[in-house]
Amino acid sequence: MPTARHLVNRRRRIDRLDGRPVSRSPDATAHRPSARAATPTRSRADRTAASPTAKSSGRGGWWAPGLTAVVVLLAGLGGYACLRTRALDDQPVRHNTALTDTAATSRVKGLVDTAVRDLFSYRYTDPDRTRAAARDRLTGAAVRQYAALMEQVHAQGPAQRLVLTTTVTDSGVEVLDGGRARLLVFADQVSTRTGKDGGDTVAAAMFAVDAVRQGSTWRIAGIDTFRRAQDTGPPQEQPQTPQSP
Amino acid sequence: MKGRNRLPGRRRRPARATEPRGGRTRLALPAALLVAAGFAAWACAGWYASAHDEHVAYSRHRDAALDAAEQGVRNLNTLDHTELDHGLALWEESATGDLLGDLRRSRAQFSRQVRSARTTTSARVLSGALTELDDRAGRARAMVAVRVTVRTPDRKTAVKDSRMLAELTRTGGGWKLNALGQAPVGDTGTAGPDAAPDAE
């Protein structure tokens, strides 16, 4: 019995000392002396010790750098795709939504058509209606440009008993970029004078209009009548020259 | 377990320090992978959408058609009596369909007129806009404001602004004019698809 207990105790002590001697001892003997010998090997020993099993430590050898590389590649791909998208989105062709945005295109076209009709129509009995249109429909440089265009009409209108009826025959949106638009307008202006040089005349007008969106509506911010440099006379909106079709 | 307990203290401490770090890495890497994969997928989807945006394709057709309309109006209002054949070849190059037929039919007669009048006509496009575009059917309508200058042999120049309306068709060689005329003035005015510049 004492012998048996002694043997059992001894075995237990050996077990306690060496852990699982059969599986662990080659590993342990391999590492212990080298760990004592030099620092780099010590760190390797530590890593082995940190890993719960030899199997998982072997997998960690490639999956961490491998995954990191994949993460870097994916991030790089994403960044490149972002740059390409931005380059595509920055193309001028994208900024102009004339005709591509049909709703916005027809809205600005409709508003400018009515604005031009109201602005360049005049009735000597009700000149305030034209002035009201100017207040509602114009902004910025167009206020001054329009005043110059209509100066004579307002000055001579009552004496000539002038009636101007402007019809937009064609209009097209050249550029529509967010809250800014540029339109080309062809309009006919019929003027009726009942004064000394009475009669009807039709004037053909073409001009470009810059429009800006203000709140829910569009206002005309610029009127380009394509005046020639040497031109000093009234621009085309003035019904000065009768035109035979 | 017990075997590890026997390791000297200075070796145990770094071992413990690496253990939680290793666990964190095992969680952090897949998380980073997920985030990176999501980001890449999102960015590539945006890239694809941008590259295949049908609005952009439509916009390109719009710009190409408008360019062709403006160039066509410029060509068909430009003619130098000293380079008649070159000028008329440019006219025919800009036209297709009915307009091309008209130009070919009237070419001989028109050449005689311009040769005897010895005029030089040049054109500048002031502005232009498309009013309609059917990119599937390959048809478009455009309006172009053009300033035409006619120089006569006695060096007199006449400048005339014209309101042109054009119809375009997409051909194998790009967009070309198949009708061109001045916008009618008033209700009674009509203008055929006659592109001849005033040689008066």
The predicted-structure confidence for A49-107, as pLDDT tens digits, reads as follows 444 444 444 455 777 888 889 999 999 999 999 998 888 888 777 788 898 888 999 99
A17 or B37, greater pLDDT: B37
Which of A47, A57, A71, A237 to mutate to test binding with chain B, by most B CBs within 10 Å of its CB? A71
Out of B1, B55, B59, closest to residue A19 by CB:
B1
The mean per-residue pLDDT over the stretch A165-176 comes to 94
- The shortest C-alpha distance from B85 to chain A (Å) reads 31
Average pLDDT score over residue span A209-237: 76
Domains and CATH numbers, chain B: 36-182 (3.10.450.230)
Distance (Å) from the C-alpha of residue B86 to the closest C-alpha of chain A?
29
- Return the closest-CA partner of residue B145 out of A238, A110, A114, A171: A171
Which pLDDT score, from 0 to 100, does residue A220 have?
94
- The pTM (predicted TM-score) of the whole model is 0.69
Question: Nearest-CA residue of chain B relative to A36?
Answer: B11
Q: What is the pLDDT of residue A5?
A: 65
The span from the CA of A42 to the CA of A30, in Å, is 12
- Indicate yes or no: CB of B47 within 8 angstroms of CB of A88: yes
pLDDT given for residue B28 in this prediction: 82
Of residues A16, A78, A190, nearest to B36 (C-beta)? A78
Share of chain B above pLDDT 90, in %: 43
The predicted pLDDT at position A196 comes to 65
Q: Which residues of A touch B184 (CB under 8 A)?
A: 169, 245
Q: How far apart are CA A90 and CA A29, in angstroms?
A: 67
Give the pLDDT confidence score for residue A91 in this predicted structure: 78
User: Looking at CA atoms only, how far is residue A64 from chain B in angstroms?
Assistant: 7
Q: pLDDT of A178-199, one tens digit each?
A: 899 999 999 999 988 876 666 7
Segment A123-133, tens digit of pLDDT:
999 989 999 99
More confident residue, A90 or A42: A90
Q: Is residue B191 predicted with pLDDT exceeding 50?
A: no
A243 → closest Cβ in B37, B133, B185: B185
Question: What pLDDT, on the 0 to 100 scale, is given for residue B159?
Answer: 92
What pLDDT was estimated at residue A95? 83
Is a pLDDT exceeding 90 seen at residue B67? Answer: yes
- Our CA angle for B158, B164, B167, nearest 5°, is 145
**Interatomic CA distance for residues A115 and A138, integer angstroms:** 9
Please answer yes or no on whether B47 and A18 come within 8 Å at the CB atom. Answer: no
Window from A6-15, A154-163, A199-208, B113-122 with minimum mean pLDDT: A6-15
Q: Are A121 and A164 in contact (CB under 8 A)?
A: yes
- What confidence score (pLDDT) does residue A34 get? 44
Which of A16, A74, A167 best probes binding to B when mutated, by most B CB atoms within 10 angstroms? A74
Q: Rounded to the nearest 5°, which phi and psi values hold at A166?
A: -105, 135
Distance from CA of B78 to the nearest CA of A (A): 19
Q: Does the CA dihedral A185-A188-A193-A198 come out positive or negative?
A: positive
**Listed residue (B170, B189, B163, B167) closest to B178, CA to CA:** B167
CB pair distance less than 8 Å for A71 and B33 = yes
pLDDT band at B22; cut points 50, 70, 90:
low
Per-residue pLDDT at A22: 46
User: Between chains, do A184 and B190 touch, taking CB under 8 Å as contact?
Assistant: no
Q: Which of B6, B163, B186 sits opposite A245 (nearest CB)?
A: B186
Instruction: Supply the DSSP string of B29-86, one letter for each residue.
Output: HHHHHHHHHHHHHHHHHHHHHHHT-HHHHHHHHHHHHHHHHHHHHHHHT-EEGGGHHH
Q: What's the sign of the alpha-carbon dihedral A159, A160, A161, A164?
A: negative
